[in-house]
Copies of this chain bind each other. A is one copy, B any other.
Amino acid sequence: METDQNQPAGLRVIPLGGVGEIGLNMMVYEYGDDIIVADCGLMFPEPHMLGIDIVIPDITYLRERADRVRGIFLTHGHEDHIGALPYVLPELPVPIFGTALTLGFVREKLKEFDLDSSTDLSVVKPRESVTVGPFKVEFIRVSHSIVDGCALAIRTPEGVVIHTGDFKIDQTPVDGELTDLASFARYGSEGVLALFSDSTNVERQGYTLSERLVGEAFDEIFPRCPGRIIVAAFSSNIHRVQQAVESAARCGRKVLLNGRSMIANVAIARQLGYLRIPDDVLIDLREMPRLPPEQVCMITTGSQGEPMSALTRIAMDDHKQIKLEKGDTVILSSRFIPGNEKTISDLINHLYRRGAEVFHEKVSEVHVSGHASREELKLMINLVRPKFFVPVHGEYRHLVKHSRLAQRVGVPEERCLVVENGAVIRFADGAAEVAGSVANGRVFIDGKGIGDVGAVVLKDRKHLSEDGMVVVIISINPQTGEILYGPDIVSRGFVFEDESQEYLDETKKIVLDLLAGMSPEVLKDWNEVKQEVRRILRRFFNKTIERRPVILPLIIEM
């Protein structure tokens, strides 16, 4: 790890998350004694992170330099860019800069944690700049699957760094607000030191389809629906909601919003003027039954088949107020997020069982991506004409391919840097190098516990999940080694106890025989006894039923 005393001059850029993974976005920009951070996101747990609620970046590096952090700049309001704020702010109570809708979502989030009144939130408009220490940061509008997203043009003494955030280049955006290519071109003409660009869709040829196409798909589908329409979408995708509302109104339907975040985010967006819904279009759950089905459109969360979501409960015929019928249509206007394919597939099957018709991105144009495809990524590089190129926001293979794409449009190979989280990219005197790496990683949040669940606990949970647990209770006189109690055997998740009494009795006998064969000396060494019990039962279970439960011998002293 670099020591700060010897810190050479130059701009240091350090990803603490979001590089080599999708999620957890957090980029440190450091010059001298000043640090700013771009984004502060979370990641949803992967399947092996048993019992974990969310994952946030390890901010040890910033914690050790807390007095030097001047502010956090947010590109947009998605969870993988703002979700870690409530956990980071208590340690780094710095000003936060972002656009109006981004900060609207942030404020809502901070309220849950009682941090909203103590946090300094500054709204910045696109093309406005904020100066913090040696950094001058201009917000540049970009299109994305959320409104009010921006790239950051970060001017430093070493030069300008363009930090794209998540972007696409939509030529027919729903609100008419285009990706501000002119500003990117302006910086490109002036000279850009480095471009840090969104690698998510680098494997997709061509251009990403426009958001407006989804509205057109709605206009084609909605009028043909005989019964009710349910549109499932991400509540942060304001333009998607806008289009669904407009298409619904155009065919005489009222709109019901469902899902806590849908209702909250729509309220924020309407209040800030980003979403226009006439009051008479909205209905609530009580009014819905009074309308004929063909006059109803519900916009809801739950597109990923999340177990407790309203849509899943509707699909399982488990929702008190909403019962699906033949003639009803469900539109999953969202992405099949990798990892969720099975739950979404199950959701779709259940919806068909209820008699509904289902549209989704694999069979219909009811969703478009929010990330640039290859041609847009090339366009960005060609406009910005950076000296150095660093692909971010992608898994390793996306970074490699984005680096190759940059080379294809003319950035020399030696100036394309594929790095991992924690890498210190140092720019000085027109050169760039990876100058070591710093502490980085993932912190697990389980319930109220932050970071206490790590590899050891996860390993135990995994082991428990596979074949359960067997507890062996014995009491041994520590002086004589006489067995005073047990062995008693209790298990969970191992075998079906109601039918396995014989087997468990056999298990008891195995342990009894083992103990009977031990000398009083050995029996006084409880660690030795536990080890032997574990060993013999492991062998017994493996041999007889090929299962490997967690074996927990408990020796108690009376």
Instruction: A557 to B47: give the CA distance in the assembly, Å.
Output: 41
The interface-forming segment of A108-116, A462-470, A505-513 is A462-470
Instruction: A462 to B464: give the CA distance in the assembly, Å.
Output: 9
The interface-forming segment of A35-43, A131-139, A347-355, A514-522 is A347-355
Instruction: A345 to B500: give the CA distance in the assembly, Å.
Output: 40
The distance from the CB of A9 to the nearest CB of chain B, in whole angstroms, is: 32
A226 within 8 A of B: no
The distance from the CB of A151 to the nearest CB of chain B, in whole angstroms, is: 26
List CB contacts (< 8 Å) of A437-452 with chain B: 446-449, 452
- Which of A339, A447, A462 has the most chain B CB atoms inside 10 A of its CB? A447
Interface size for chain A: under 10, 10 to 19, 20 to 34, or 35 or more residues? 35 or more
Q: Is the CB of B545 within 8 A of A449?
A: yes
The distance from the CB of A34 to the nearest CB of chain B, in whole angstroms, is: 34
Q: Is the CB of A47 within 8 A of B352?
A: no
The distance from the CB of A482 to the nearest CB of chain B, in whole angstroms, is: 12
| Given A457-B493, A464-B461, also A545-B46 (CB < 8 A) | no
A158 within 8 A of B: no
Instruction: A17 to B558: give the CA distance in the assembly, Å.
Output: 55
Instruction: A18 to B341: give the CA distance in the assembly, Å.
Output: 20
Residues on B with beta carbons closer than 8 Å to the beta carbon of A469: 464, 469, 492
A63 within 8 A of B: no
Copy number in the complex reads 2
The distance from the CB of A543 to the nearest CB of chain B, in whole angstroms, is: 9
Q: Is the CB of B545 within 8 A of A447?
A: yes
| Given A452-B496, A490-B552, A496-B456, also A396-B349 (CB < 8 A) | yes
The chain B residue sitting closest to A464, CB to CB, is B464
List CB contacts (< 8 Å) of A469-499 with chain B: 469, 471, 473, 475, 484-486, 488, 490, 492-496, 499
Residues on B with beta carbons closer than 8 Å to the beta carbon of A475: 485, 556, 558
A120 within 8 A of B: no
A223 within 8 A of B: no
A positions within 8 Å CB-CB of B: 20, 46-47, 50-51, 203, 338-339, 341-342, 345, 348-353, 358, 362-363, 395-397, 400, 446-449, 452-454, 456-458, 460-469, 471, 473, 475, 484-486, 488, 490, 492-496, 499-500, 544-547, 550, 552, 554, 556-558
